[in-house]
């Protein structure tokens, strides 16, 4: 396998299907795809089969990738995924609604969510609307003038207990989860486009939805407080 290839590994867990995909970023296609159909509609059935499914497939994925798989992206379809509407309103003491001010408002909203839903692990944060001085904006516009900012947001999350149960299975293979995806969210966003599930998740992961915020701590002083916050201002 060419070491220069950029590859991502995706695992899909749903009540009826387990899937694993080795995705070639450059060529936008799966180099490896294996799915196991499950009988029944119990959300826990998939976890009972996950360990054996990984044991049957991880070696083949690693052989194609030419390296050990240490991190994966997890796509979940589960009845226990929550989609919670959340609003925050703040007074602006500056002339304009700056990028920094918006960043701080989103941090505050995230902290409030975590305080009120302590057993939830955030999968996606999506800004639905910006309300500035009682005027709605679907997307952020730079240098808007206003005394008040209100954000209407959706927090998509799963219970930390379920996340821990999945993580413990993956740890048996020395694999960590880089990011969680809600399958319903990513398929609805692309409105039924006939694209492989791994490709849909990759597109979300690189910021196709400009109103999704991925809060990642900065790695260096040259990078802003959030690595992907630039999506809102491009």
213 falls within a domain: no
Q: Which residue(s) pair with 12 in the sheet? A: 19, 75
Tell me the CATH number at 131: 3.30.1490.110
Within this chain, do residues 109 and 165 fall inside the same structural domain, yes or no? Answer: no
Q: Which domain holds residue 192?
A: 7-79+160-205
Q: Is the C-alpha dihedral spanning 180, 142, 190, 184 positive or negative?
A: positive
pTM value is 0.87
Whether 38 maps to a domain, the answer reads yes
In this structure, the answer to whether residues 102 and 58 fall within a common structural domain is: no
Angle in degrees, CA 181, 113, 152, rounded to 5: 80
Residue 217 forms part of a structural domain? no
Q: What is the domain count for the chain?
A: 2
User: Are 46 and 62 members of one domain?
Assistant: yes
Statement to judge: residues 23 and 139 lie in one domain: no
| Residues 125 and 226 reside in one and the same domain | yes
Same domain, yes or no, for 56 and 92? no
| Same-domain pairing of 170 and 152 | no
Shared domain check, 143 and 102:
yes
Residue 210 in any domain: the answer is: no
What the block records as the tokens of 83 is 């989609």
One domain, residues 74 and 183: yes
- Count Cβ atoms within 10 A of the Cβ of residue 228 and give its class: 0-12 exposed, 13-18 middle, 19 or more buried: middle
Whether residue 152 sits in one domain with residue 88? yes
- DSSP for 191-228, written as a single string: TT-S--HHHHHHHHHTTSSTTB------SSTTS-SSSS
Output b/e per residue, 15-47; b: 16+ Cβ within 10 A: eeebbbbbbbeeeeebebbeebebeeeebeebb
Q: What is the mean pLDDT of each run of 10 residues along the chain (234 residues)?
A: 73 94 96 90 72 96 96 95 94 84 90 96 95 86 84 96 96 97 96 91 94 66 38 41
Cross-strand pairs, 29: 24
Q: Are residues 113 and 27 in the same domain?
A: no
Identify the pLDDT of residue 107.
92
CATH number, residue 62: 3.30.420.40
> 142 and 52 share a domain?
no
Nearest to 166 by CA among 22, 13, 41, 60: 13
């Amino acid at each position: 396998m060419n070491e220069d290839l950029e590859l991502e590994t995706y695992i899909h867990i749903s009540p009826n299907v387990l899937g694993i995909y080795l995705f070639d970023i450059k060529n936008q296609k799966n180099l490896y795809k294996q799915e196991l159909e499950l009988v029944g509609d119990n959300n826990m059935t998939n976890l009972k089969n996950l360990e054996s499914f990984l044991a049957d497939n991880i070696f083949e994925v690693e052989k194609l990738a030419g390296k050990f798989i240490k991190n994966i992206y997890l796509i979940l379809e589960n009845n226990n995924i929550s989609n919670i509407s959340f609003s925050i309103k703040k007074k602006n003491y500056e002339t304009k609604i700056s990028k920094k001010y918006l960043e701080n408002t989103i941090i505050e909203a995230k902290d409030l969510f975590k305080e009120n839903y302590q057993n939830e692990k955030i999968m996606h944060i999506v800004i639905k609307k910006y309300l500035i001085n009682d005027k709605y904006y679907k997307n952020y516009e730079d240098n808007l003038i206003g005394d008040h900012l209100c954000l209407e947001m959706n927090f998509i999350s799963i219970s930390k207990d379920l996340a821990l149960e999945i993580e413990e299975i993956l740890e048996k293979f020395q694999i960590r989860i880089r990011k969680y995806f809600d399958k319903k969210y990513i398929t609805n966003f692309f409105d039924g486009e006939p694209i492989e599930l791994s490709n849909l998740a990759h597109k979300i992961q690189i910021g196709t939805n400009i109103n999704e915020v991925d809060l990642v701590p900065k790695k260096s002083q040259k990078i802003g407080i959030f690595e992907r916050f630039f999506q809102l201002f491009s």
